[in-house]
Amino acid sequence: MSATPINTTPVTTIVRRHIRAGQDAAYQDWLTRLTTGAARDFPGYLGAEFHRPARPTDPWRCVFRFDSLDHLDAFERSPFRAQMLDEAAPLFAADATWERLTGLELWFDPPPGIPIPQPSPHRMALVLVAVVFTLVLILNLALGPLMATWPLPLRLLVTVTLQVALMTYVIMPRLTPRIARFIYPSPRKDRT
């Protein structure tokens, strides 16, 4: 009988790591082997995505998702992960920084150059409602006539797939830098 995880909220870990010059291809190969092993051997692994640095001085950003904190902890404590980190140590220029996210904050990056504050959940929800509403409306207006005869589950699958892909890879990466100060409001300074 398998144990059911106690912490069943999906969790995302964001790892930022500087890689030694000229080691990007080796690092990508290592990431592929790491995620292939995670998908094969660890329950609850939901996937990963990798973002190359925009400038050579920026870190790589890797996003790992698990269905629960228990499953993520099992992966992080595993001999497999320890072995993979040891193997890749020559590729790393510095220690990594880690963040665990369990809510909407995954969609939003704080403004550059400030410590990472807690984003306003109300403002994140407001932005996501506006973005999702607009995107779903546009997709339904554009694709509705083309898919009118399709079964509802298939129409919904296509719409949701396009929506998530557009939000993850096109809209949110371009929108969040522009609205970061709204999502991460500055703390009020004491005027006394």
> What predicted TM-score, i.e. pTM, was given to this entire model?
0.52
Half-sphere exposure of 141 (CA within 13 A, CB side): 6
**Would you say residue 8 has pLDDT above 80?**
no
**Would you say residue 33 has pLDDT above 90?**
yes
Domains by residue range for the chain, with CATH: 11-102 (3.30.70.100), 121-183 (no CATH)
DSSP labels, 123-187: HHHHHHHHHHHHHHHHHHHHHTTTTTTS-HHHHHHHHHHHHHHHIIIIIHHHHHHHHHHHHSPPP
Write the pLDDT tens digit of every residue in 89-127. 999 988 888 777 655 445 555 555 544 455 667 787 888
